[in-house]
Amino acid sequence: MIVKNTYGVSVAFSIAKYGIAPKSEFTGSALQRRKPLNKPKAKKKESKDRERRERSLSRRSKQKIRKKITCFSRTQKRLSFVTLTFLNKVSDEQAVNVLRKFIDNVKKRSDDFQYLWVVERQTKNDEFKGNPHFHMITNKYWKIEKWWNYWLALQHKNGIVPER
């Protein structure tokens, strides 16, 4: 099973299904990170650089995501890539809440549903600049008509309606 938690992406496998536990290199724990040797503190940079850094992933984070996807792809025969976008401007909390409800419903209706998701901010959409959307890699075959309509209905139910 692949799980997304508050602090980053974590991987937990069912030993019963695969027979052995994968190496610990795929856990992504910050406790496994080597501590740097007394580096001098960097000077504070301008707020523009700080804003840019907050909105982009570090090289280490990108590497961890690649490792998780590689591990996931080696344990699954077929994977699907899904992008979930919103009808209108939403807050981060509201977006994650709708995604959580969506995933909970998918889990109820699918056997052995496994997934990995990443949130990304829209940059090319001038109307909803900075709006979150989700990229998911799953082991499920998606019937687009059914699940896309559910995704839209779930947004309406949670007060996210298109602008008119």
Q: Give the phi and the psi of residue 66 in degrees, each rounded to 5.
A: -60, -40
Percent of the chain with pLDDT over 70: 66
Give the per-residue pLDDT at 5.
47
Taking the CA of residue 43 as centre, how many other CA atoms within 13 Å lie in the half-sphere pointing to its CB? 2
The structural domains of the chain, with segments of one domain joined by +, span: 1-30+57-75, 77-164
Query: Where do runs of H (alpha helix) occur along 14-139?
Result: 15-18, 47-54, 59-75, 92-109
Give the per-residue pLDDT at 55.
59
Pick from 23-37, 53-67, 93-107: least confident? 23-37
The winner for highest mean pLDDT among 49-63, 68-82, 100-114 is 100-114
Higher per-residue confidence, 72 vs 4: 72
From CA 41, how far away is CA 152, in angstroms rounded?
A: 48
From CA 136, how far away is CA 103, in angstroms rounded?
A: 10
Give the pLDDT mean for 151-160: 93
Residue 68 pLDDT exceeds 80: yes
pLDDT digits (tens, 9 = 90+) for 79-102: 899 999 998 999 989 999 999 999
The model carries a pTM of 0.63
Structure tokens at 75: 């344990």
Q: Give the phi and the psi of residue 121 in degrees, each rounded to 5.
A: -95, 140
From CA 19, how far away is CA 37, in angstroms rounded?
A: 39
Give the pLDDT mean for 65-87: 88
Residue 3 pLDDT exceeds 60: no
Q: What is the CA radius of gyration of the chain?
A: 19
Structure tokens at 112: 């052995």
Of 120, 104, 119, 115, nearest to 137 (Cα)? 115
Topology (CATH) of 77-164 = Alpha-Beta Plaits (3.30.70)
pLDDT digits (tens, 9 = 90+) for 132-147: 999 999 998 888 888 9
Residue 110 pLDDT exceeds 50: yes
Annotate 125-158 with b (16+ C-beta within 10 A) or e (fewer): eeebeebbbbebbbbbeeeeeebeeebeebbeee
Higher per-residue confidence, 41 vs 140: 140
Give the pLDDT mean for 114-127: 85
